[in-house]
């Protein structure tokens, strides 16, 4: 199944100069960037994006953190892209995330965890629509795609 997911390299990833290393993880996995923008996110957009967490104790701090500086917003596409990306990211809290994952390798913080990734097809759809206009999502083939995605991958549902 070819899916799309929304990934955000959070302000700490930009400030710590980790954008390249984090992006490499996704590229090496064989996921294709179909849209990207570097942006200081308006508060209202962050509030909408994290609406499912509204009311939780960490919500105000999360909104502050996400608006503190530029972020790199990306849409990736690939086989089982949503689950694959979540695995690359690791567990939410850096100190609990497995070594080898992005969070596990680069942070021990609870909330300041470098990267966002959609957690389901429904949230991916909602989030991609929040951050990108349809015409900003590019349709193109990577030269090596026949070696990264089989017919079975395309047809499978999970
Ligand atoms: P996820 O990013 O792994 O999907 P969520 O539970 O969706 O994790 O939480 C969204 C974001 O909110 C986290 O990535 C993290 O930045 C922040 N967050 C979640 N729980 C806490 C907490 O207990 N303390 C501080 N920040 C938190
Ligand atoms: Mg989440």
Quick: pLDDT tens for 108-143: 999 999 999 999 999 999 999 999 999 999 999 999
Is the residue at 98 inside a domain? yes
Asked whether residue 23 is domain-assigned, the answer is yes
Residue 145 lies in a domain: no
- pTM of this prediction? 0.98
In angstroms, the CA 144 to CA 56 distance is: 43
Residue 146 lies in a domain: no
**Token code pair at residue 22:** 């984090």
Q: What is the DSSP letter of 97?
A: S
Q: Is residue 152 part of a domain?
A: no
> Which CATH number belongs to the domain containing residue 21 in this structure?
3.30.70.141
Where does ligand 1 bind, in terms of residues with CB under 6 Å?
Answer: 53, 58, 62, 92, 110-111, 113, 116, 119
Total tally of structural domains belonging to the chain: 1
Q: Mutation test of ligand 1: which of 22, 50, 62 has the most ligand atoms closer than 8 Å to its C-beta?
A: 62
**What local confidence, expressed as pLDDT, does residue 96 receive?**
98
Average pLDDT, the chain: 97
- The conformation of residue 13, written as its DSSP 8-state character, comes to H
More confident residue, 156 or 130: 130
Domain that holds residue 92: 2-139
Residue 149 lies in a domain: no
User: Which of 113, 118, 126 is the pocket-test mutation for ligand 1 (most atoms within 8 Å of CB)?
Assistant: 113
Q: Is residue 158 included in any domain, yes or no?
A: no
| Residue 157 confidence (pLDDT) | 79
């Amino acid at each position: 199944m070819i899916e799309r997911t929304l990934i955000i390299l959070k302000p700490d990833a930009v400030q710590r100069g980790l954008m390249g290393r984090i992006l490499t993880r996704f590229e090496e996995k064989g996921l294709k960037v179909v849209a990207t923008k570097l942006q200081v996110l308006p508060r209202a957009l962050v509030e909408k994006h994290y609406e499912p967490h509204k009311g939780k104790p960490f919500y105000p701090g999360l909104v502050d953190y996400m608006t503190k500086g530029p972020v790199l917003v990306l849409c990736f596409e690939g086989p089982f892209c949503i689950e694959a990306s979540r695995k690359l990211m690791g567990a939410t809290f850096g100190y609990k995330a497995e070594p080898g994952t992005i969070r596990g390798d680069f942070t021990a913080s609870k909330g300041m965890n470098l990267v966002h990734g959609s957690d389901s097809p429904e949230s991916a759809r909602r989030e991609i629509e929040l951050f990108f206009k349809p015409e900003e999502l590019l349709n193109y083939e990577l030269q090596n795609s026949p070696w990264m995605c089989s017919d079975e991958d395309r047809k499978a549902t999970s």
